[in-house]
Amino acid sequence: MLARVKHRLSPLAQPVRLLQNYPRRTLRADVMAGATVGIVLLPQALAFSLLAGLPPEMGLYSAIMAAIVGALWGSSSHLHSGPTNTAAILTLSVLLPIAAPGSPEFVAAAGLVAVMAGVMRLLMGLAGLGMLVNFVSDSVAVGFTAGAGLLIISNQIEPILRLDLPGDGGLLSTLLGTATLASNAHLPSLILGLATMALLLVLPRLTPKLPAVLLAVVAVSIVAWGLSLERSGVAVLGPLPQTLPPLAQLPLLDLDLIGQLANGALALALIGLVEAMAIARAVASHSRQRLDSNQEFVGQGLANIAAGLFSGYPCSGSFNRSALSYQSGAQSALGNVFSGLFVAAAIFLLGPLIAHLPRAVLAGALVITAYSMVDIKSMRRIWRGSRNDAAIMAVTLLATLLLPLQFAVLIGVLMSLGAYLLRTSAPRVQLVLPDDEFRHWVARPEKPACPELAVVEVMGDLYFGAVNYVEERIYDILNAQPQQRFLLLRMHSVNQIDYTGIRALENIMRFCRERGGDLYFIRMREPVWERMRATGFADALGQDHFLDEDTAISFLFHRKIDPAVCIYECEVRAWHECQNLPKRSAPINGLIPLSSVRQPPSTPVISAAALWQELRGQAPPLVIDVREPREFRQGHIPNALLMPLPELLTGDATAPIDRPLVLVCRSGRRSSRAAAHLAQHGYTDLRILNGGMLAWEAAHLLEAVET
């Protein structure tokens, strides 16, 4: 128990492992990469805090704490944690129903929801639930990201035009308010915003290795300062407190507020984790680093807890800063630690300059950043692909634009889970036959099926949600051929089975046996076999009903399938084993269906050993072999009379009625038909060789008599 607890708490010791194994030769590269990322982080932290409706200094505090803590406790060497546009817009959406943006209540709620989301992420990481991010599909992520990007763009209209828009900040109210108040737009602010956007579109092409955001913000801000546009009414950030992140006074015991923020915190936790892990994996595909999703959950959780406790707001992983960290040559997670330290130093060194940054400039930078979130290429691919994925993406996008973001996320996740359940609850169940070379199993709906044996492939797990569909589909296949008594299930695509699946197989087994047939399996996977064995199903069915794929058809053909059907009734040559069987195309009058034959007590069976003893006695019975001539020539009981079943049924061959008769065929099925026919015509002294010639040969009596 103690060892298990230590294993669960092991992710908390990640900084110790990082520093113990840190090579000093990489320090210079990490410091340079950290400074480069910090230059980009600084303006982004300010812009994203404004996007969330929070004071600019909260963005700086979040940038410092999240970058340092997220790097020390994460698993990726390049994933950069801190303020992001998605986290900011999601935070604004969660907090708007709670308080007015910028108010003390709004600020306190921002820190509290960061701590709540961080605790959720931390607990999921410690519990080993890193796989949960897989339940948010790419369709949800693409739709949500595109919707969030459009919302970010709409929310920058107000600072770029310097309008006081009414409403709740939603897309529709923003557009309606802008249309109404557009004539009051502040022209200098609009020019600054447009100039920033233009530079951000041009600079990456001219100077791809330099931080375009920083260059654009600094260049346009210098122009604004040189033209004294602040005096003309251009809004600026204002003075920032030159202090390290202070400990926040959070309402940690306000249960009513915690209840109001719970859904939003869960959405922030899930979306933040999905965003961070997607970014970490994207960078790791280039760096070839192995990631630990549970460790990353812990890192993201602690980063948000630290940001919330030290006057910040919810954070996540940033794609552009993570990519910049990798491109700048960072060798370890300490590179991102240095980026947080760079921002901390900038608060004291650059604070007076940051105070004069025009808000319209930061808004223009956010517009271009948000536009890059709309991944049109991926949206087109999803739209041209699966209808389910396209529907999920479209609904998530619309919900993001029209509903609070936490509900949009949950709607997308629920739709993804619903689509998954629909797919898994209706796995493909198909009748298969050998191909023309008898090498592979394929679905051949154009070819007639064997009237006695159905081979069915189940392409999915047999769990409670799929069992009813699979069972009904198998019944449909069998009912389409009422004479099919034997069912062979190919199970190689069934990875898991629950108790409900076992019960369904028991029902199918009873159905086949009531028809006079049986159920068999091939290609069984070990977990499925273990569940069948543990529940007693394997014993109830019989261990000999689990066959080898290479010999299954041969076994069923020679031991179970009625050759009379193959020779006298069936023109289908489904199996390799029946290709050389003699076929009689003419109809046979009086052929009794095997399904209607029931062995009466007056027609007993005789074992191979007992028949051998009687044949050596003083008054041996007459053995009548009802097989085909070719079978008879390949081996028969000495002194047996050949009377093929068709000739016996049509009267072309007549057995003596005054002698005891023993009817013989390959396995006993044709003998049963012959006995039923003879019993209808007054024969009373009848017996059947139990197991037919197969039993005779298995007892080595064929060789013993002949020698």
Question: Which residues are part of the catalytic machinery?
Answer: 665
Rounded to an integer, what distance in angstroms lies between the CA atom of residue 87 and that of residue 44?
12
Q: Please state, in angstroms and as integers, the Cα–Cα distance from residue 34 to each residue in 75, 337, 346, 391, 537, following that order.
A: 17, 7, 13, 41, 62
At 310, phi and psi to the nearest 5?
-110, 50
Chain centre distance of CA 579: 43
Residue 549 falls in which region: left (phi positive, over 0), alpha (psi -120 to 50) or beta = alpha
Strand pairing of 428-434 and 441-443? antiparallel
Residue 699 in tokens:
């007892």
Residue 180 in tokens:
């109404």
Amino acid at residue number 470: V
Strand pairing of 622-625 and 641-642? parallel
Q: Please state, in angstroms and as integers, the Cα–Cα distance from residue 199 to each residue in 152, 157, 214, 216, 337, following that order.
A: 19, 18, 11, 6, 30
Residue 22 in tokens:
């840190």
* N-terminal to C-terminal alpha carbon distance within the chain: 72
At 459, phi and psi to the nearest 5?
-105, 60
Q: Please state, in angstroms and as integers, the Cα–Cα distance from residue 296 to each residue in 138, 489, 563, 565, 702, following that order.
A: 19, 43, 64, 65, 73
Host H or E run for residue 520: strand 518-522
For the chain, how many residues are written?
Answer: 707
Rounded to an integer, what distance in angstroms lies between the CA atom of residue 87 and that of residue 211?
22
Contact in structure between 411 and 443 (CB atoms under 8 Å): no
Rounded to an integer, what distance in angstroms lies between the CA atom of residue 348 and that of residue 354?
10
Place of tokens 């009748």: 431
User: What is the three-class DSSP state of 446?
Assistant: coil
User: What is the three-class DSSP state of 489?
Assistant: strand
Return the bridge partners of 520, or none. 488
Residue 365 in tokens:
């930078």
Contact in structure between 520 and 489 (CB atoms under 8 Å): yes
Contact in structure between 294 and 130 (CB atoms under 8 Å): yes
Strand pairing of 605-606 and 686-689? parallel
At 623, phi and psi to the nearest 5?
-95, 120
Rounded to an integer, what distance in angstroms lies between the CA atom of residue 42 and that of residue 342?
9
**Strands lying side by side in the sheet with 661-664:** 605-606, 686-689, 661-664, 622-625, 641-642
Half-sphere exposure of 392 (CA within 13 A, CB side): 24
